Every structure is written in structure tokens, then in C-alpha cells.
Amino acid sequence: MTLDYSNFEVWFITGAQLLYGGDAVVAVDGHSNTMVKGLNEAGHLPVKIVYKGTVNSSAEISEAFRKANADPKCVGVITWMHTFSPAKMWIHGLQDFKKPLLHLHTQFNKKIPWETIDMDFMNLNQSAHGDREFGHIVTRMRKNRKVVVGHWEDKDVHARIAVWMRVAVAWEDARNMKIVRFGDNMNNVAVTDGDKVEAEMRLGYHVDYFPIGDLVPFVQKVTEAEVDALVAVYEKEYTLAENARKGGKDHKQVREAARQEIGLRSFLESKGAKAFTTSFDELCGMDQLPGLACQRLMAEGYGFGAEGDWKTAALVRTMKVMAQGLPGGTSFMEDYTYHFKGKGSILQAHMLEVCPTIADAKPRLEVHPLGIGGKADPARLVFTAEAGEGVAATIVDMGNRFRLITNDVDVMTPDDNLPKLPVACALWTPRPNLAVGAAAWIYAGGTHHTSFSYALTDEYLEDYAEIAGIEKVSINQDTTISGFKKELRFNEVYYLLNKALQ
Ligand code: MN
């Protein structure tokens, strides 16, 4: 379920004009080629940049953007104004352009050549004002974009472009994201529900309902030989508890879990789905609540949400695409219980479904009874998440818009083992501390389910919200409750007006 980033391109378009003569255009083109080559060869960018030449007129700009829209390999465009590029020329092209935009505010030379600088040099190297003219029209047109400032050879600049590239690929991935939902949302739950039509228009998510009865035949037709082969994989990758091993009294539950995993994978493949949700209310014909299957499919790159939570399932998928190949895992997660000690922390877990990519050690495969669901004892991977920094994110439906909420968190090692809680878990402190972090999250209307990642930072979600054109609020080291409440109130007005103007 991972994506091959090499299937995608980002296009680089340089703005100029013919005022300075043919020599200047040739120089602009040469510098642009050198820059794009340098950016690609630095080895910090996950997606290849393709230089598409200079544009010197409204017609050339419109044509470049039309081609970018139409090319399925192109996930976004980087623009840069080497010289002055009168921005009315950009209006029609920008009106048509539908993909992520990054404005790279850089210049060819790193330093001012004090001894030799003359007016010809100034006319050729004037990004400092050409890019402001371009920036003005993008802002005037209310077009969302990322602005990255710095010299094109600097690693910090590469890092910021790399973040945006990963988000652009995830955005492309979400444009046709089918989410399979077994059953509905958990009855009466508000926060996991929402407007699926608006979600498809705004975020690309397509949510399809299937009765679990449609999955059952896929599970039933799994052969014993297929189960044997997958159990052998479990034995290699995990430490099996005594009762879960071959000969153990609950080994048959592990075999049923393997059957579910194979059946579920083949069902999702048959539907072309990238994410899915389950529900403990929707288990008719199933042996046990699929725990192990959900954990392992998440580790493969599928998005997952429990209790019908399709928004979180989609966000988990999107964050997994952004994080692909980076160190540190990404998982569905749920806030459970508080630990009021020091800055305060939250025990994160779920009944079963936490992704093993965040484990601090080899997971244990265990079988235990589960009170909810009324089925056989489910198999699950049990582990503790590694200590480290991460980001938790959620999308909520505010009725007139989607709001993306993020919180920077510090995962720590629990004080003690949890011998009577045989599930995967993480203990984290939300920044700046539990009192402010949890209060801000609640004021923002945040869910109890999140998508959590060690691999990503808030910048990824910021870029995602900018591309999607949805509200984004961040809870971090600098958050104060009074400032955060003001931001929510200002946003309320902004989005009401914004909606009215659309
Ligand atoms: Mn839940």
C-alpha cells in the first residue's frame, strides 16, 4: 500500500519578462537549470523537480499551468521570479491552476558581489522585488500556497520544500481515496461523524459503506495453507504468548485472526480502498473483533479508524503517505486515561488497534478476552510506544467547515509495566502541558481519536491545511489559553465571511 514517490514530479517555472533583452532571458534560463539540477542532486528532496522553462507572457504562463493541471505525474508547481515579472501576467494562469503551489523566494547568487555589482547585475538578479510583485497577486487572488525563503543551496530550504513535496504527494493520493466503512459510525457519537459530501469536495475522501457480511465470504475462502504461511510470519515478527503459540489453548484464535487479515486485505484490494473503519457493533459472521488484522494493515500503509471514524482513517492514510520512508511510525490512537503527575500525561491506547510501527521493541502477540463486541477472544499485538517527540492530529466537522487540530506531544516511557492492560499503548504529555494542551484541544472541539506520527511535524499538517483550504489550529509550546480562544473566535468570523464570499 505504499506509494512510489518516483512516479511523481514537481514542476519548476521561472518568471521573467523580455524587457531586459535576449541575453537576460538566456541567463535566467541557465541559472534556473543550474538551480533545479542542484536541488535535485542535493539528495534532500523526495520528489524530482522538472524545470519547465521561463515564462515571459500571460499566454506562456497560462499554458504552463494548463499543462501542469493536466499531467497526472505533476503533483505541484514551484514558482520563482528571477527578474521582475509583472504580475497581471499571472492572473489567468493562477485562476486556472488547481494543484499545490510553492513560491520559492530565493536568488541565484548567495552573496552580494560587492566589488563587481553593477546595474546589469541588479537588473538580472532582482528576485527581492520580482518575487514580491508575484506574491502580491497570489495574495490578492486569495490563492493558498507555501512561501519558502532562503538560498536554494541551503539545507533548511531543502527541508521545507521536502515537507511540502511529501504533502503534495499525500494530497494527490487523497484525491481518489476510497474509504471502506464496515457498518456506520458508533451510534450517537458526534465527533467521528460529519459531512461526507463536503469531505469529498474539500478533501477528496470517498466513503463507501459495506455490511460486514460482504467481508465474511472473503474471510471464509482463505485456505488453511494461507493461514499456515501467515502464522509463520507472526512467529518470526512477534513474540507469541504461551496461550497463543502452537499447542496453546488460544492458538486457534491466532489462526482466525490470520484468516481475517488475509480476507480483509483481499477485500480492500478488490475495492481499491486506501483506508477502512471497523465497528464492534458490526461483527455478524466474524469470529472476533479484528485487532491484529487492523494493526498489520495499518503498518502496511492503510488508513484506519475505529467505530466508523472515517475522517481519522483518512487522516492516518494521508499522514502515512507523507511519512513514507522517514524514520518513526504513524498510528491511529485514542485518548484514554490521565496521569496527573508533573506536566501531566495521557495514556493513549485503543481496544486493540494501534499500529506496530510505533513500537519500542518487538511486539508480543497475545490473546485475551474483550468485554465489548460479544465475540471470541481477539488476538492483538501488545507493545509500548517508544519515547520521543511526535504530533497528534485530527479533523473535525464544524458544520460550516473542517478544522484540522494538531498538538505537539512528548511520548515518554511509562513509570511501570501495565501487566493487566494487554494492549498497545503510549504515554504522552501534550505541549505545553496537560492543563493547557487538553483545554485548548477541548476548546477546539477535538476528537478522542487522533492520527499520531513520530515522523512528521506540525509543518506537514500546516502545508496540508493550506493546500486543502481548511482551518488549522496548532497547540504547541507557545500556546496560551487566552490566545488560543481568540484565534478560535477570529477564525469563526473569518470562515463565516469566507464561505459567504465563495
Ligand atoms: Mn475508539
Beta-carbon neighbour count of residue 63 at 10 Å? 13
Task: Provide the terminal-to-terminal Cα distance of the chain, rounded to the nearest Å.
Answer: 36
243 Cα: distance to centroid of ligand 1 (angstroms)? 27
Q: How large is the average pLDDT for residues 65-92?
A: 96
pLDDT for 1 equals 85
Spacing, Cα 306 to ligand 1 middle (Å): 5
307 CA to middle of ligand 1, Å?
6
- Segment 229-265, tens digit of pLDDT: 999 999 999 999 999 999 999 999 999 999 999 999 9
Q: Which residue in this structure is represented by grid cell 481475517?
A: 260
Cα–Cα distance measured from residue 459 to residue 456, given in angstroms and rounded to the nearest whole number: 8
Cα(398) to centroid(ligand 1), Å: 20
CB 134 within 8 A of CB 85: yes
Distance 20 CA to ligand 1 centre (A): 63
pLDDT of residue 98: 97
Residue 123: the pLDDT is 86
pLDDT over 90 at 25, yes or no: no
In DSSP notation, 349-369 reads: E-SS---GGGBSSPPEEEE--
Domain encompassing residue 36: 5-174
Distance 188 CA to ligand 1 centre (A): 13
User: CA 253 to CA 244: how far, in whole Å?
Assistant: 8
- What is the pLDDT, as a whole number, of residue 502? 62
Residue 501 confidence (pLDDT): 67
167 and 300 in a common domain: no
Residue 229 and residue 365 in one domain: yes
* Per-residue confidence (pLDDT) for residue 372, from 0 to 100: 82
**Residue at 491: amino acid letter:** N
Which 3 state secondary structure label does DSSP give 10?
Answer: strand
Residues 144 and 190 in one domain: no
204 lies in the same domain as 161: no
Lowest-confidence range among 130-144, 256-270, 288-302, 371-385? 371-385
pLDDT tens per residue, range 36-74 = 999 999 999 999 999 999 999 999 999 999 999 999 999
Beginning with the edge strand found earlier in the chain, give each strand of the sheet holding 239-240 in spatial order: 239-240, 364-367, 379-382
Q: What separation in Å is there between the alpha carbon of 485 and the centre of ligand 1?
A: 27
Express each pLDDT in 463-481 by its tens digit.
Answer: 999 999 999 999 999 999 9
Residue 150 dihedral angles phi and psi, to the nearest 5°? 150, 170
Asked if pLDDT for residue 499 goes beyond 80, the answer is no
Across residues 286-307, what is the average pLDDT?
96
Q: What percent of the chain has pLDDT over 90?
A: 91
Q: Give me ligand 1 centre to Cα 311, in Å.
A: 13
Please give the pLDDT value at position 194: 95
Break the chain down into helix, strand, coil percent, rounded to 5: 40, 25, 35
Ligand 1 centroid to residue 331 C-alpha, Å: 13
Q: Using alpha carbons, select from 339, 335, 281 the residue that is nearest to residue 312.
A: 335
163, pLDDT greater than 90: yes
- The rounded Å distance from CA 121 to ligand 1 centre is 62
Does 325 share its domain with 471?
yes
Q: How confident is the prediction for the chain on average, in pLDDT?
A: 96
In this prediction, what percent of the chain has a pLDDT beyond 70? Answer: 100
For the residues of 203-254, what is the DSSP string, one character each? H--EEEEE-HHHHHHHHHT--HHHHHHHHHHHHHHSEEPGGGSTTSTTHHHH
Alpha carbon separation from 301 to 72, 311, 495 (Å, rounded): 22, 16, 33
Pairwise CA distance, residues 436 & 54, whole Å: 49
Q: How far is the CA of 334 from the centre of ligand 1 (A)?
A: 6
How far is ligand 1, taken at its centre, from the CA of residue 303, in Å? 15
> 374: how many CB neighbours lie within 10 A of its CB?
10
C-alpha 364/C-alpha 423 separation (Å) is 10
The alpha carbons of the chain give a radius of gyration, in whole angstroms, of 25
Please give the tally of structural domains in the chain: 2
d(CA 172, CA 174): 5
Tell which of 158, 174, 190 closes a domain.
Answer: 174
Q: Ligand 1 mean position to 468 CA, how many Å?
A: 26
* Mean pLDDT, residues 98-107 taken together: 98
489 and 342 share one domain: yes
Instruction: Measure the CA–CA gap between 180 and 320, rounded to whole angstroms.
Output: 17
* Residue that terminates a domain, selected from 174, 203, 221: 174
* Same domain flag for 487 and 452: yes
Same domain assignment for residues 20 and 163: yes
CATH number for the domain spanning 131: value is 3.40.50.10940
Instruction: Identify whether residues 168 and 316 lie together within a single domain.
Output: no
Q: How far, in Å, from the CA of 372 to the mean position of ligand 1? A: 12
User: Residue 437 C-alpha to ligand 1 middle, in angstroms?
Assistant: 20
**Inter-residue contact 271 to 208 (CB < 8 Å):** yes
Residue 8 CA, ligand 1 centroid: distance in Å: 35
pLDDT of residue 253: 96
Cα separation, 140 vs 48, whole angstroms: 30
Cα-to-centroid distance, 130 and ligand 1 (Å): 51
Residues 149, 170 within the same domain: yes
Last residue of a domain, one of 174, 203, 237: 174
d(CA 336, CA 127): 51
Q: Which residue has the higher pLDDT, 25 or 215?
A: 215
Q: Measure the CA angle with vertex 208, ends 205 and 212; round to 5°.
A: 140
Cα angle value 290/295/297 (rounded, 5°)? 95
* 484 CA to centre of ligand 1 in angstroms: 27
Q: What is the mean pLDDT of residues 441-446?
A: 98
360 and 239, same domain (yes or no): yes
Same domain, 167 and 66: yes
State the distance from the centre of ligand 1 to the C-alpha of 305, rounded, in angstroms: 8
pTM for the full model?
Answer: 0.97
Helices 434-443 + 481-501 axis angle, to 10: 20
